[in-house]
Structure 1
Amino acid sequence: MSGVQEPLEIKFRLFDGSDIGPKKYAPATSVATLKESIIAQWPKGKENGPRTVNDLKLINAGKILENNRTLADCRSPMYEFSGVTTMHVVVRPPSSERGTEKKVLSKPKENKCGCSIL
């Protein structure tokens, strides 16, 4: 491998199995920049699209990538192969939905036992 780092071809797999990309990115590209690119290319017809980079998580090779790291920092053995790297995209629910989810979880459970002891 030479000292010159070639651009990495990456596609982003969304929760429904559709993809964004592939597109080439320099190894010095930050994860936050990747997330901004995903937001800009997000399909218009999809529900619950991300609004900010904090609404997204990128997963590559089973690891969640941190916003302040670069592609070179996150390098895995998969980058040694030529071809397209697939990163999985997870969208956090909007904050309004997150608040209601906690309320639902904090409701006291009613005892609804249907057991019969004979």
Structure 2
Amino acid sequence: MVVLPCVILLLRWFWPLPVFWVLLTVSLMIGGLLAVFLAVLLMTELRQDKRIARYYEKHQNRALPLSDGRYECQHCGSTRLKQGDKVCPTCGVRFENDSSIYNTAARQEEQKWNIHS
């Protein structure tokens, strides 16, 4: 974004043609638009990361249901959990509330966040 305008500016000093001024202006405008576009993408990514981090913190000591009937430990990521497990066999974390695994409100919140879809 910086090299091309600098080269055009140097060429303009040696050959003062109006076409170099137009090229310099167009190059700076394209670079500015590209910088704004990348900044918007970065802001979107950071907001999404913040949202996912909040979701993870809220559900850290819960087992999340997977599509194949198993459950995943949010603490270590182990998928060796079964329906009645109260403790993760891999990391040993105790789940906050055994009934929260099957809670329909938790599933509705999961659908709202669109984490597993």
The verdict on a shared fold, with TM-score over 0.5 as the criterion, is no
TM-score (ref. length: structure 2): 0.22
Higher normalized contact order (CA 8 Å, seq sep 6+, divided by chain length): 1
Higher helix fraction: Structure 1 or Structure 2?
Answer: 2
Higher strand fraction: Structure 1 or Structure 2?
Answer: 1
